[in-house]
């Protein structure tokens, strides 16, 4: 069964932590579910996406122009 999330946010920059926390808080306040992808859980997230166990309505990419 697929776990849907409204919004996924990917980042690899440590200084994004506060910004992403604010985004996540505001999304939750608006009734949206979030999934945050950091380098530490990237492989797990990719595996879950490929296996169809998670899915995202929107993907906010703050990492592809760097290391992710």
Tell me the C-alpha distance between 65 and 46, whole Å: 18
Domains, the chain, with CATH or none: 3-61 (3.40.50)
CB environment 13-50: b (16+ within 10 A), e (fewer): eeebeeebeebbeebeeeeeebbbbbeeeeeebeebbe
Q: What is the pLDDT of residues 31-51, one digit of tens each?
A: 999 999 999 999 999 999 999
Check pLDDT > 60 for residue 68.
no
Tell me the C-alpha distance between 24 and 17, whole Å: 10
pTM over 0.85: yes
Predicted pLDDT of residue 67 = 60
Number of Cβ within 10 Å of residue 67's Cβ equals 9
């Amino acid at each position: 069964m697929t776990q849907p999330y409204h919004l996924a946010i990917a980042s690899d920059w440590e200084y994004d932590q506060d910004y992403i926390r604010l985004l996540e808080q505001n999304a939750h306040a608006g009734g949206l579910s979030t999934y945050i992808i950091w380098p530490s859980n990237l492989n797990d997230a990719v595996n879950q996406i490929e296996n169809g166990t998670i899915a995202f309505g929107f993907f906010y990419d703050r990492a592809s122009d760097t290391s992710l």
